Amino acid sequence: MQPYAHPSDHIQLHDLLFVPLFSEAKVRERVRELGATLSQQYHNKTPLFISILSGAFVFASDLMRDFDGNCEVGFVKLSSYTGTQSSGRVQTVMGLEKDLKDRHLIVVEDIVDTGRTLHFFLDHLRSQGPASICTVTFLRKPEALAFPVQVDHAGFDIENRFVVGYGLDYEGLGRNLPGVYQLIE
């Protein structure tokens, strides 16, 4: 399909059109603030960032570099989405190969929608005996929340609309957009 030509700030991914929600500058500013907050929170500790793939890899990469101090990173792949709707199931597609016992964990999510992914994953982490768990999500949709999840830091709260960019995709596309775009309905 040919890219949609205009208006110039619209983006077409597959069959859907998106409009800008947060600019690259606004995203970078907010992520720096979150990095500074975590740097204070984990002063003299060596936290393990756990990035939930695929969506959170962009956010985690910036957040780590905005973290002032020693830290490690690990990746886990969970999956619950197909297209623009949650499939209702959470699968672990790839696990962590690290010992989490007595570690300070910072779980990094791209977006908390229903909260199902995080709820499921936090249960799993708690059973591994970490010293502490903190959750950081780039975006959060408060209206969509259906599971009781602890979110310690959220970049932005947004409406219950489908978004792409900064790691978030629609059927594989849009992850490389440096800002965030919202679906036109």
Q: How many CB atoms lie within 10 A of CB 68?
A: 13
- Assess 155 for contact with ligand IMP (CB under 6 A): no
Site map (CB under 6 A) of ligand IMP, residues 44-63, x = contact: -----------x--------
Catalytic pick from 110, 113, 157, 169? 113
SS3 126: helix
Nearer to ligand IMP, 39 or 114 (CB): 114
Question: Which listed residue (86, 130, 134, 175) binds ligand IMP by CB under 6 A?
Answer: 86
Considering only 10-18, 64-72, 98-106, 107-115, which stretch makes contact with ligand IMP by CB under 6 A? 107-115
Task: Please give the Cα distance from 34 to 163 (Å, whole number).
Answer: 21
66 is catalytic: no
Considering only 15-23, 40-48, 60-68, 108-116, which stretch makes contact with ligand IMP by CB under 6 A? 108-116
109 makes contact, choosing from ligand IMP, Mg ion, none, with CB < 5 to 8 Å by partner type, with ligand IMP
- Is the Cα dihedral 162, 175, 23, 113 positive or negative? positive
Q: How many CB atoms lie within 10 A of CB 39?
A: 14
Per the omega criterion (within 30 degrees of 0), is the bond before 54 cis?
A: yes
| Interactions with Mg ion, residue window 74-103 (CB under 5 A) | 81
The residues near 92 (Cβ < 8 Å, ≥ 6 apart) are 76, 77, 78, 124
